Amino acid sequence: MTLLAGCDSKPKSDADALAGTASAPTDSRIPPLDSVTVQAFFTRTAPLKEHRRDAQQFYRERTGRLAWFRQGEIVPQADKLLEKVADAKSEGLDPATYRPLTMDVQKKFAALRAAKKGEADPNLIRQTDLALSALYFAYAGDFYKGTVDPHINESVDWSVKRNKIKLYRALQTILQERESTYPYYEFGSLHPEYDRLRHALSQYRALQKRGGWSTVPAIRKLEPGQTDSVAVPALRRRLLPSAGATAAVGAGTTRSASQSALYDPQLVGAVKAFQDRHGLRPDGIVGMGTVEALNVPVDARIDQLLLNMERWRWIPKKLGDRYVLVNIPEYKLHMVDGGREVFDMRVIVGKELKATPIFSDKMEHIVLAPYWGLPVSIVEEEIKPAMLRNPNFIEAEDMELLEGYGAKARPVPASSVDWANVTKENWKHTLRQRPGPKNPLGPMKFIFPNENDVYLHGTPNAWLFNKEERGFSHGCVRLEDPKKLATYLLRDQPQWTSERIDETVAAGEEKWINLKEYLPVYIVYFTSWADEAGTVHFRDDIYGHDKALEQAMFN
């Protein structure tokens, strides 16, 4: 995948034809493109205004020299730009967005062809140069940064640091004199994950052209070994015909020779593979949830791929050599080191009304045997009514009440508070739960200071990780195996052995450990992705972020 890659087998385009006619005067006879001219061109329409600064900086650094003409001929990069824009759909972009700019370029090309050799209007040459730059900035801006700005459109709820690229610098590099030095590879790939989604998009569109897939009738419950003359043949039609056609779409099995009503092992395997790809319990039991996922139309899955390709445009191109990534809809944490995933683990995220925010920051500390400082919202919404029911609730839950904050805080009895009148506004205390088995943070927490006051931590309720849908927290991320993460991150501090970590936690005395190197943490929201084998996975839009982004992108 390259930004301006062309195909030699294609017929000559407008730019190819122009390159052979040399109809333009030599560059030295063309007045430079001054800032006033560039400003006027890039303020004609709202879409062009978005790229005014890039255009001005681009031509300023060229001292106004033409960019797309060399020795009186248009450069081959122009043709390759037009080819790439024409293929925008394969990148999940809408070709219609660039049609007015493309038509403007083609109109100017036609006028240049009509001129006698060496007699083309110098102003037409200059306007053609600007039109090509405008087309590049419009397309490249969408390709690299996305069609929706998540920092402006708050409805999409995305505060991860954005992908940064200076488009004018990228264009300067692409327009180098020797074609063999064009660094296409630098501008052709955003992330391997994006590339895999792009490939999946092509596969699903091919399925769409073939009519999509069949639906499955409502099934109350179908277990392996049972027979059903309606449901089983429908499942075969839905899953087995596509198996082997594409790893991204198929169930990972071969076409069944049997058309019987028996829910046999082959079909069970196909169902389990489908369930696994859709975040369902892969037990082979077909119920309402599995049928609902089976009956999502291919058009909806294509839209889902497009939404998540857009999100990858927002992600920084360089995530770091070592980082933690939490994908909320997947309910999973991924530890990446040296550019590869070293392990993952299940997580619990915020419930819908206490959604885990999407953002990035850097982990600085690990806290063993942590206190849990209760947020004021929980004090008002949960502790207040509990204390009104049972005045001994705080002590029974191994909590302590402090007056004041920080080092100046001192213990006070719970009876000193007028609980009936507690509000967020008048709360002047600190309420915290002591380290121990009742502490909801579990044995440790991982701190990356942020305005959301969100962090990673353990939990005493390990049984919740057996559930497939794990939206139970107040916004923080609970880890299935916090010690595994801590042990891995403290490998460069050999004094913190596994045994010492256990001893410190058991002692019940809070201990802060500073990481030697801050660790990037990305809390993201992807409802579809393709793994390294090319298998495409889908998850439910648990917070409605897909719906909001769909509204912003498609409407």
Give the pair of three-digit tokens for residue 284: 């082979």
Check whether residue 61 and residue 117 sit in a common domain.
Answer: yes
Position 14 scores a pLDDT of 53
Give the CA distances from residue 10 to residues 6, 80, 102, 337, in Å, rounded to whole numbers and listed in that order. Answer: 8, 11, 18, 43
More confidently predicted of 91 and 152 = 91
pLDDT tens figures, 48-98: 899 999 999 999 999 999 999 988 889 999 998 999 999 999 999 999 999
Mean pLDDT of 253-262: 60
Mean pLDDT of 278-296: 98
Number of domains in the chain: 4
Domain membership of residue 498 as a residue range:
319-371+437-524
Strand pairing class (340-350; 471-473):
parallel
Domain boundary among 248, 263, 296: 296
In this structure, are residues 464 and 472 in contact, taking their beta carbons and an 8 Å threshold?
yes
**Looking only at Cα atoms, what is the longest distance across the chain?**
96
Position 30 scores a pLDDT of 85
pLDDT-based confidence at 251, cuts 50/70/90?
very low
Give the CA distances from residue 408 to residues 177, 197, 257, 411, 416, in Å, rounded to whole numbers and listed in that order. Answer: 67, 53, 76, 10, 18
CA 2 to chain centre: 21
Check whether residue 354 and residue 478 sit in a common domain.
Answer: yes
Position 236 scores a pLDDT of 95
| Domain annotation covers residue 245 | yes
Distance, in Å, from the CA atom of 200 to the CA atom of 206, rounded to the nearest integer, reads: 10
Position 243 scores a pLDDT of 39
Side-chain-side CA neighbours of residue 162 (13 Å): 17
In this structure, are residues 344 and 484 in contact, taking their beta carbons and an 8 Å threshold?
no
252 pLDDT above the threshold of 50: no
Distance, in Å, from the CA atom of 435 to the CA atom of 438, rounded to the nearest integer, reads: 8
> Given phi > 0 = left and psi -120 to 50 = alpha, else beta, which region is 361?
beta
Check whether residue 238 and residue 351 sit in a common domain.
Answer: no
In this structure, are residues 24 and 112 in contact, taking their beta carbons and an 8 Å threshold?
yes
- CA trace torsion 94, 95, 100, 106 (10° rounding): 170
In this structure, are residues 173 and 186 in contact, taking their beta carbons and an 8 Å threshold?
yes
Give the CA distances from residue 523 to residues 194, 458, 483, in Å, rounded to whole numbers and listed in that order. Answer: 17, 17, 20
pLDDT tens figures, 391-434: 999 999 999 999 877 778 899 999 999 999 999 999 999 999 99
Position 451 scores a pLDDT of 94
176 pLDDT above the threshold of 60: yes
Check whether residue 225 and residue 291 sit in a common domain.
Answer: yes
Position 179 scores a pLDDT of 52
257 pLDDT above the threshold of 80: no
| Domain annotation covers residue 242 | yes
Check whether residue 452 and residue 379 sit in a common domain.
Answer: no
Contacts of 114 by beta carbon, 8 Å cutoff, 6+ apart: none
DSSP secondary structure letters along 234-273: HHHHHHSTTTTT-TTTS-SSPPPS--SSB--HHHHHHHHH
Residue among 268, 93, 204 at smallest CA distance from 538: 204
Domain boundary among 155, 173, 188: 188
Give the pair of three-digit tokens for residue 180: 């063999």
User: Within 10 A of 229 (CB to CB), how many other CB atoms are there?
Assistant: 9
| Domain annotation covers residue 535 | no
| Domain annotation covers residue 303 | no
Contacts of 390 by beta carbon, 8 Å cutoff, 6+ apart: 396
In this structure, are residues 396 and 336 in contact, taking their beta carbons and an 8 Å threshold?
no
> Quick check: helix, strand or coil at residue 342?
strand
Mean pLDDT of 478-494: 98
Position 162 scores a pLDDT of 84
324 pLDDT above the threshold of 60: yes
235 pLDDT above the threshold of 80: yes
Position 182 scores a pLDDT of 45
Mean pLDDT of 162-183: 76
Which domain CATH number covers 288? 1.10.101.10
Distance, in Å, from the CA atom of 532 to the CA atom of 529, rounded to the nearest integer, reads: 10
**Number of H-type helices and E-type strands within the chain:** 20, 17
pLDDT tens figures, 507-536: 999 999 999 999 999 999 999 999 999 999
245 pLDDT above the threshold of 90: no
Check whether residue 261 and residue 134 sit in a common domain.
Answer: no
Amino acid at residue number 209: K
| Domain annotation covers residue 287 | yes
Position 28 scores a pLDDT of 64
Strand pairing class (332-337; 456-457):
unpaired
Check whether residue 380 and residue 348 sit in a common domain.
Answer: no
More confidently predicted of 48 and 308 = 308
Position 25 scores a pLDDT of 58
Check whether residue 284 and residue 183 sit in a common domain.
Answer: no
CA 405 to chain centre: 38
More confidently predicted of 175 and 489 = 489
In this structure, are residues 366 and 486 in contact, taking their beta carbons and an 8 Å threshold?
yes
| Domain annotation covers residue 545 | no
Position 27 scores a pLDDT of 61
Check whether residue 63 and residue 137 sit in a common domain.
Answer: yes
Check whether residue 400 and residue 414 sit in a common domain.
Answer: yes
Cβ-based burial of 170 (10 A; exposed 0-12, middle 13-18, buried ≥19):
buried
Mean pLDDT score of the chain, rounded to an integer? 89
Position 407 scores a pLDDT of 78
- Residue 366, beta-bridge partner list: 446, 513
Contacts of 395 by beta carbon, 8 Å cutoff, 6+ apart: 414
Check whether residue 142 and residue 87 sit in a common domain.
Answer: yes
DSSP secondary structure letters along 17-45: HHHHH--SPPGGGSPP--HHHHHHHTTSS
pLDDT tens figures, 335-388: 999 999 999 999 999 999 999 999 999 999 999 999 999 999 999 999 999 999
User: Within 10 A of 406 (CB to CB), how many other CB atoms are there?
Assistant: 7
CA 103 to chain centre: 33
Share of the chain above pLDDT 90, in %: 78
More confidently predicted of 489 and 13 = 489
Which domain CATH number covers 339? 2.40.440.10
Distance, in Å, from the CA atom of 230 to the CA atom of 429, rounded to the nearest integer, reads: 64
Position 1 scores a pLDDT of 30
| Domain annotation covers residue 544 | no
Check whether residue 362 and residue 217 sit in a common domain.
Answer: no
Torsions phi, psi for 327 (to 5 deg): -100, 110
| Domain annotation covers residue 196 | no
